[in-house]
Every structure is written in structure tokens, then in C-alpha cells.
Structure 1
């Protein structure tokens, strides 16, 4: 297995940014933006089928397109990871046991089964930490920063009932300043909206915890059903819908 030491200067950065000079107080983030596996990780192959790498287990399908379009509509900067969540999950704290998933929604991840502490630290050093450094830098670049994290979810997990929502608004019990108001605003638009569904809005050490809650920054996490944003038209449409609602909710909050 190549150790990648010769390629550090030529490999692409593990994150992307756009609009760093935009003036909005919003920062749009996308933790699970791509399904890229760097060549130095098991030769660029996690050992699972291409069809599985295209599924939600490897990335948040459609989320990056929404995040970039939404950031443009908000005149806000955007930052996103550029590595698969199966390589190492940027939306997990460094001590989270699910940082390197060995089994996800019925799929075994062979390249992670034998990953030891040294491999975990290598992936942290070369992927996870640089992404969070970029996110932290952009979060701190505006004195009144508010963070909107964009994710997507699959309509149905294997062996589970279909999920009824078109989107979910997630927020922590430690900061409900924007989340409940955004849930109501989305429902007022006629969208079937989950309130901390399909996932809980609080995860110790995750990106929102680290870059928003720990600094008192207003925040929301938006989960969009991925079949609705599978193409560029759907991604732009949801960005166009969400932007004015986000602006209104933040304005009305008085924060």
C-alpha cells in the first residue's frame, strides 16, 4: 500500500472554499460534500462496490450543489470537505468511535476494518484537521457569524420504513434560538419538515458543536431528502427556496 509521502505536495486539498470575501454573516458548510478517496488511502479504493460509493453512505448526495448555490444566494462564503465520510467522517469529533466506520447501512467497509490508531491519526492529520482549520478560520472571519450546515438524507434506510419528510431542521438543545423558528417557517411554506428528524440535532464534538455552539454562534443544520436534489436543477431550486426563509428567520430572531 503506498504511504503517499511523495504526493503530499501534489494531492488536492481536503477541502474547498468559495466566496471568502462575501459580506454576509452567514457561513454555509457542507461536511459530507464528496465521495473522493485519496490515493494514499488503500490505493484510492475502500474495497466496496462503485454503487455503494455512489450511495448516501459515502457522501451526502446533492448537498454540495445546494450549499454552493445557497451561499451564492445569501452572498455568503461556503466551505466543504473533499473526502468521503467513509475515509474519515468530518462531522465527528476526533474521539468519536464512529469516526472510521467499519459497517454502514448494511455495507462492510474493508479498508477500515484493519485501520489502526496510526492510520486513524494519519487520516485526521491529512484530511479531518485541515478541513476543520479552514472551517474555523471562516467561522471566525465575521464578528457576528451564523452557520448553516447543509446535509442530505436518504429517503429510506435498508429494512426501515420510508421517511416522510422533504427536509429536516436539526438543532441542539443547547441552542434553540433559530432551529424551532426555522422548522415553523418551513412548515408554513408547505414543506413536510422534520423537527430534529431524521436525526438528533446534538452530537458532542460534531461540526456544529465545535464551530457554533462552543462560540455562541447562531446555527441551523438543514437536511434535505437526497432524491429531491439529485441534479443541478433540484439543488438550485432548494437553494432558492431556502435562502429567503433563512434570511427572514435570522432577521426576526434579533440575534
Structure 2
């Protein structure tokens, strides 16, 4: 794999949408612990390393919406692109019961090096894509695990995460609540308010309509289910956008 912090999917400018996928892959670059954080393959395949299924959904959704996208290519365990640079969870040493050997001795110098090599270039790419599309709405695709170790199972199929700006989140929740087969998480399985994270940085602070969508990862474990959810989300987002436009009139 090329040592690039991000992958872009081309799309029109102007565009109604820009898509992001912060945790698309579980790749560890060769300049980080020699390309191996010391975890067994089963841990690197878990949600602690990336968001399983999210890249596939993002690709299908981008095609359905004719939208551009930016996806991070590195594991969240290298440095988490969905955290502020000063967030204490930016570089994890323990995650959901698994010790990360390759991060155990990462000091402040190594943390800063990873920020400059991987975290900042990803966000610079997002900033550049959004600058070319000032009217676009921002949608970030994530996935969550059905059950954390020692915790109760999570019942939600999909979560809609947001902070104070609900211009896109509220219409999307309205549309989703009309889907009888889905259990909807309203700012669940966790809150969308995290100062300095991706949506705060690129949505809240510049005042751009945005939403973060969390899909339970057992529902998008195959190319077929990823494609189905990508198509379904395109329909839901278009309906939410239409509701936004009608509200303005």
C-alpha cells in the first residue's frame, strides 16, 4: 500500500455532499513500530483497529450520491483521526481490553511525529475538498461493535450523532424513525459532541450542515450488506435533504 494518509474519491464541485470515513482501514504504516503494533490478527480485525464495513458503505454511498469522499488509510491505533490533537485518547495504549504493544513506549515526540505524518495530512485533505464545495453537506460514515467486552449488547442498528447543529441530523432522524425495521440511536451509542473531533473541526466550527452516521458493524460485514446499506443511506439522506429544503421555504 502506498504510504499516503488518505484516499480520495473524485466527485463534482459544486456538490450537495462530501463524505468522510475516518476509520476506513486497519493498516499500520511501516514507519510506525515497523508496520506491526504487536497485536494478533484477530485484534487488528476488530473495531479497535478500524471501523469494519465503513469503507465499503462509503464507496457505494459516494457512487449513489455522485459525491466525493476522503478516507483515512491508517489504523485508528496509529493515531486517531477522529480526535483533537490534544485529546488524551489520540494515541491509545489500551483499547477494549487489548494492550497495544507498539504504542506502549510511544512518547510525546513519537506522538507528535505521527500527528504530522498521518493525522494532519488527512485533515488537510478534508479541508481542501470542502473548500472547493462550500455549499456541500458533510456526512461521516462510521461503524460500531455490537458489544464491548464486559458490557451489555447494543440494540441499535444505526446511530445518528450530532452536536448543537441539528440542521441535517434532525431531518435524518425524522426519516429514519419512519423505518419500522430499524432501532435508531439518537446520539447513541455515544454522543456526537466531542470538541476538536472531525465533525467539530469541519462541520461545527465552520457552520456547515453535517451528521455522523454509525452503523452496527455486524450489519455491514459483507460486500453485499455494505452495498445494500450504501443504497439505503443514499435514499435516506436525499429524503432528509428534501425535508431541509422544504423547511426553508
Contact 1:154–1:227 under 8 Å retained in 2: yes
Aligned residue among 210, 217, 220 for 1:226 = 217
Higher mean alpha-carbon deviation, 15-24 vs 187-196, is at: 15-24
Structure 1 counterpart of 2:48: 57
**Pairwise CA RMSD:** 1.3
Q: TM-score, normalised by structure 2?
A: 0.95
| Alpha-carbon contact 2:14-2:135 (below 8 Å) kept | no
- Provide the C-alpha distance between the structure 2 equivalents of 1:218 and 1:233, rounded to a whole number of angstroms: 30
Structure 1 stretches of at least 4 aligned residues deviating more than 6 Å after TM superposition = none
**What SS does structure 1 have at the residue aligned with 2:67?**
coil
Q: Give secondary structure in 2 for the equivalent of 1:221.
A: strand
Q: Does 1:196 align with 2:182?
A: no
Aligned twin of 1:165: 156
Q: Flag structure 1 segments of 5+ consecutive residues without an equivalent.
A: 1-9
Picking from 172, 192, 202, the partner of 1:182 is 172
| 2:98 equivalent in structure 1 | 107
Q: Secondary structure at the match of 2:225?
A: helix
What's the counterpart of residue 87 of structure 1?
Answer: 78
1:116-157 per-residue CA deviation (whole Å, 9 max, x = no partner) reads 111011101110010000011111111212100000000111
1:149-160 correspondence runs (5 A) = 149-160=140-151
CA contact under 8 A between 1:168 and 1:197: conserved in structure 2? yes
Query: Partners in 2 of 1:131 and 1:196 — Cα distance?
Result: 25
For 1:47 and 1:103, locate their aligned partners in 2 and report how far apart those are by CA, in whole Å.
Answer: 12
Q: 1:187-241 CA deviation, whole Å, 9 max, x = no partner?
A: 2122111000001011000000001111110001100010111111011100111
Partner SS state of residue 177, structure 2: helix
Separation of aligned partners in 2, 1:251 and 1:126: 40
Alignment match, 1:98? 89
Superposed CA deviations along residues 69-88 of structure 1, whole A, max 9, x for unmatched, are 10110110011000000010
Greater CA drift, 20-29 or 128-137: 20-29
Deviation of residue 11 (structure 1)?
4.6
